[in-house]
A and B are shown apart, each in its own frame.
Chain A
Amino acid sequence: MSALPSHARVVVIGAGIVGNSLAYHLARLGWRDIVLLDKGRLPSPGGSTGHASNFIYLTDHSREMTNLTVDSVHQYQELGVFTRSGGLEVARTDERMQELHRRMSSARSWGIDAELVSPTQAKAMVPYLNSDILLGAFSQPGIGVVDSLRAGTIMRERAQEMGALTISAQTEVLGLDVVDGRIRTVRTDKGDTQAEVVVVACGVWSPRIAAMAGAAIPLTPAVHQMISVGPVPLFAGTQGEIEYPIVRDMDTNMYERQHGGDLEVGSYAHRAILMDPDDIPSIAAAALSPTELPFTEEDFELQYEQALELVPDILGDERVGIRHSINGLLSLTPDGMPILGETPEVKGLWACAAVWIKEAPGIAKMVAEWMTDGQPEIDPHGSDVARFHPHQTARAHVRARSAEGFNKTYGIVHPSEQWESNRNVRLSPFYEREKALGAMFFETAGWERPMWYAANEPLIAEFGDRVAQRTAEWESRWWSPIISAEHLAMRERVGICDLSAFVIFDVTGPGALANVQEMAVAQLDVAVGKVVYTPLLNEAGGIKSDLTIMRLTRDHFRVVTGGAHGMGDKKWFRDHLPADGSAQVTDHTSTYTTLGIWGPRSRDVLSAATADDVSNDGFPFGTCRTIEVGGIPVLASRISYVGELGWELYVPMEQGVRLWDTLWDAGRAHGIIAFGIGVYGTTGRLEKGYRAHGAELDLEFTLVEADMLRPRVKEQEFIGKAAFLEQRANPPVARLCTLTVDDHTSSTGEKRYMLGREPILTLEGEPLVDAKGRRSFVTSAGAGPSVGKHLLLSYLPPEQAVAGTRLLVEYLGERYPVTVAVVGSTPLFDPENARVRA
């Protein structure tokens, strides 16, 4: 052990699997003067790594998490600490079998070797299973176990061999000093170290450490119960740690895995047992370790019975004893994703927390890349610490959502599934009006947004067969045919849509233009009153975000972006503000509410409510200005995400109801309706081929591939320009296409409708893989009521990205014929874009 140096380039706090991996990857990327601290002794300092069950399942419905896991497996293999065992997820119910088909689709989409097997086949692999209670199993041969402590030791040693790392164990952090918003000093019981960068990789203790600097890492320690039984006669003579595949008993939220002569049985089924980081015992006071708490027998009672049902041959054997039982602590977050990246509160203070063994080395590599040059290979936006809105860092929110998510660890989670806890946090001014119309509220970023309105049910009859009905339960869940009816009414007449969840911030000051120019691909040196839709890139040319910017005055730009990613966007702008203070970013999300009005009669409605000129000449597409509507000044912006004539209308929150009522009254004569986000976010968007960040757009795809190019590249510099120019100079290896489903009929004769993330296959059933190794999958799916088709967006390799190409989509175990309808961004509906310019 070396002494603590007085200066460091970076201090990594926490020497679990995350901190060790990160120290190694930083060293590998050329960082020197790295200090790794831990309060405990090495190699097992007392955090969650020390008691992890250390097995790795590969397939997750999240592409980001799957890719990080696969990368981690490669790293563990290279370190020589990975033992391949194979693994099963078993189904006891029909509903679970459907879910296993869905997992099979995800495996195919992300390129994981997997198959569905019968109960008999499952028993052949794992002879101690009671196959009588099973309907089938999802088998992934690449699953295995790792020695995460050994991995950590090797990575520390490698970083030391590079001369990059100083390790200081048994060193307790007492404080983090921040000067002018930037991390400066780590104060410890072994002395102080000045550091340019500090990473909080403290697992369950992360909130406490981050709080020392005034930053939030909203996770909660939670109990995961595990018992270890043995000696198992069948395992006598086992060479090494594991010979039989690991089993996840999905329906009971449990797992059973061999560990030498023992079988470990773990559970995510018990009540959520959350702790406060400050209540975790100290290393000295803990009987085993701070994160191995006394087993609470009463919470495991049902689990004994359920595990006994599945593995009676082992657990029913009276000679096999329960040798070890713990309540192990792990980290839960309110949305189930890790917490990574530079904190929005403190420059130079990074979070790397809520990470599981299975993905830790991959995440460490990604974060190290991100710290080095801002260009991670895998897009981290879903895990970005900057994603949290203030209310999402509140203790009550973290605990409520973490508790709700815990029992879904192995759950069947619908892609549109809504949280039940801590709702009604952010209500738009239109909320009471919406409730009166029978709104079905979905939540985004805490906002309650109508997805559709029960009051619009009569429209279904009006539009008859043009409204596709769904009979299958899965795709009818969290969905209504009213969405399609609202869509058609909006396209034929006019509708208003609550867009209050937008994140809105202003960039102001003499340096504002320079700042927005640097951020945006599009030209922002435009006339005052222009609205510009633009992507943002990172230096590597990956798509960071897409949003709209209004130029309100010469030195005043208003940025409007989505609620889900808006906080990250705001940080991105803030990070690039000029050092001389000549521009500022000010958040106005809670100042202004937004109401969209679209449809061919929207001008008629607006004209009836304003004396200002809203004609096509007087108020052309792509412009914005303040008009008076119903006696209140309204910032109107003529753009559309649904492909219709119309405006986004911005007013102060307290005047929102006035605006709603004014438009509602003016619209009666024109058949106005309120329509939900189901139209705005899916049906209207997909018919127009509009891309969405997080679905089509992320760091792993380019604007060339997404076909979002303008004829010319602006002269001014912007982030990612060099990479972008290079992308444009080469033919794309994948192109985003719109596909239509030709036949929805399943083998049972029921019509089925894809929901997104499904694999696209050749007619022979082979996956499509582009030259960058990416498989083709459905990035977005939804009805296109005006074109009478179910629409899928997918990046396809050039050979398949040809209009008319026939392919297959796999959905819940069956394959359906699809056709490439459009290559690139040309919309299927109104390809001339005449309607928005009407």
Chain B
Amino acid sequence: MNILVCVKRVPVTGGRISVTADGQEIDTRFLGFTVSPHEECAAEEAVRIVEKHGGTSTVLTLGPEVAIEQLRDLLAIGVNRAVLLETDGREWDATSTATAIVDLVRARADAGEPFDLLLFGNEAADTGDFQVGIRVAMALNLPCVVGAKAIEVRDGSIAVQRDAGGGREIYEVALPAVVATKEGINLPRYPSVPGRLRAKKQEVERIEVAAGGAGEAGVGGPDPAKVALTVPVTDSTTAEILGHGPEAAPRVVELLQKIGVLSR
């Protein structure tokens, strides 16, 4: 099976996020970069499917040259090939991104190397707009399942599971298809040292792209324009040690009464 995994370079957050002075970007001076957990799972799923059923996995990202770092991270866990749709570093919206991906997928099909399965993360970790996979499916007129929690390869099709209330929905989807995976579909492996060394030596195919032409691709209407980013105000929490050992009990009781767990 020939699988394409589409990922996006995003900052690793964990601490308080701050925004650049112009309000347009996240301040990434102290941040590392990664891909979203959903995308990591998509890459892991692609590697597992190829390990089990043969074929080739290709990871693709659209972004500046530095995004090669994320491609190598995924080559290191066993993805076979990498493609960078290289931009000048400006942020692309979902329609433009989808357009560039559609162009590549079509070009590969025309060259006789069509993809059987296009995997996306359910949503990007930074912008969280749930757009690109669906737009690509629409443009290519492919079936699409989002929120995938399991993929089973069958003969010429796949069975995709997703959470639905307390149970699971199961879709049997003919290939080629688009699937957006959700974290939890698998537990992605860490790269090994030999994996890292291989990834370092592997070639990354670089294709320069320019934004525009969304209409022709058929990926849908334009994105809303970004006005500004603001950091939401969060309630600060404090921790207080009420005491140690049995001596702490009266204060614990007092607190439980205060918040209404125990009646006075």
Which stretch (A278-286, A392-400, A477-485, A629-637) binds chain B?
A: A278-286
Pick the interface stretch among B129-137, B154-162, B185-193: B185-193
- State the main secondary structure of chain A at its contact with B: loop
A619 within 8 A of B: no
**What residues of chain A lie closer than 8 Å to B192, measured between beta carbons?**
229, 315, 317-322
- B193 CB contact (under 8 Å) in A283, A286, A287, A320: A320
The answer on a CB contact under 8 Å between A285 and B18 is: yes
B-contacting residues, A291-336, CB 8 Å: 293-295, 297, 301, 304-305, 307-308, 315-323
Quick one: given A294-B32, A297-B72, are A287 and B190 in contact (CB under 8 Å)?
no
A294 to B196, CA, bound (A): 17
In contact, B16 and A284 (Cβ under 8 angstroms): yes
Smallest CB–CB gap between B50 and chain A, Å? 15
Task: Tell me the dominant secondary structure on chain B's binding face.
Answer: loop
Q: Which 8 A-B residue pairs are closest in the complex by CB-CB distance?
A: A321-B190, A294-B32, A287-B14, A281-B30, A284-B16, A315-B193, A286-B15, A285-B15
CA distance A301 to B195 in the complex (A): 12
- The chain B residue sitting closest to A320, CB to CB, is B192
Known: A293-B30, A297-B69, A301-B200. A285 touches B16 (CB 8 A): yes
**B interface residues with partner A (beta carbon < 8 Å):** 12-16, 18, 29-33, 69, 72, 189-197, 200, 241
How far does the Cβ of A325 sit from chain B's closest Cβ, in whole Å? 9
Contact A316 B72 (CB under 8 A): no
Do B189 and A321 touch across chains, with their CB atoms under 8 A apart?
yes
Which residue of A288, A294, A295, A308 is within 8 Å of B197 (Cβ)?
A: A308
Contacts of B14 in A (CB 8 A): 286-288
Total CB contacts across the A-B interface at under 8 A: 70
CB distance from B32 to the nearest CB of A (A): 3
CB proximity of B248 to chain A, nearest CB, Å: 15
Bound: A629/B201 CA distance, A:
72
Please pick, from B13, B15, B193, the residue contacting A304 in the complex, using a CB distance under 8 A.
B193
Report how far A238 CA is from B203 CA in the complex, Å. 40
B194/A287 in contact, CB under 8 A: no
Residue of B nearest to A293 (CB): B30
In whole angstroms, what is the CA distance A304 to B194 when docked?
8
CB contacts (< 8 Å) of B12 on chain A: these are 287, 294
A304/B190 contact (C-beta < 8 A), A285-B15, A297-B72 known: no
A284/B196 contact (C-beta < 8 A), A297-B72, A321-B190 known:
no
B191:A287 contact, CB within 8 angstroms: no
Residues of B within 8 A of A323 (CB): 190
How distant is A326 from chain B, measured CB to nearest CB, in Å? 10
A229 to B195, CA, bound (A): 13
Extra inter-chain contacts (20) besides given A294-B12, A321-B189, CB under 8 Å: A229-B193, A281-B29, A284-B16, A285-B18, A287-B13, A287-B15, A288-B14, A293-B30, A293-B32, A294-B32, A297-B72, A304-B193, A304-B197, A307-B193, A318-B192, A318-B194, A318-B195, A320-B193, A321-B190, A322-B193
Complexed CA–CA distance, A287 and B18 (Å) = 12
A319 → chain B closest CB, angstroms: 7
Beta-carbon nearest neighbor of B33 in chain A: A294
Q: In the complex, A323→B12 CA distance in Å?
A: 16
A154, chain B: closest CB distance, angstroms: 16
**Whole-angstrom distance between the alpha carbons of A380 and B72 in the complex?**
49
Give 14 CB contacts A-B under 8 Å: A229-B192, A281-B30, A282-B16, A285-B16, A286-B15, A287-B12, A287-B32, A294-B33, A304-B200, A308-B194, A318-B192, A318-B195, A322-B191, A323-B190
**Contact call A308/B193, Cβ cutoff below 8 A:** yes
| Shortest Cβ gap from A741 to chain B (Å) | 49
Which residues of chain A have C-beta atoms less than 8 A from B16's C-beta? 282, 284-285
Give complex CA distance A308, B200 in Å.
15
Q: Which residue of B lies closest to A280 (CB)?
A: B30
Rounded to whole Å, the gap between the CB of A299 and the closest CB of chain B is: 12
User: Which of A229, A285, A305, A319 counts the most chain B CB atoms within 10 A?
Assistant: A285
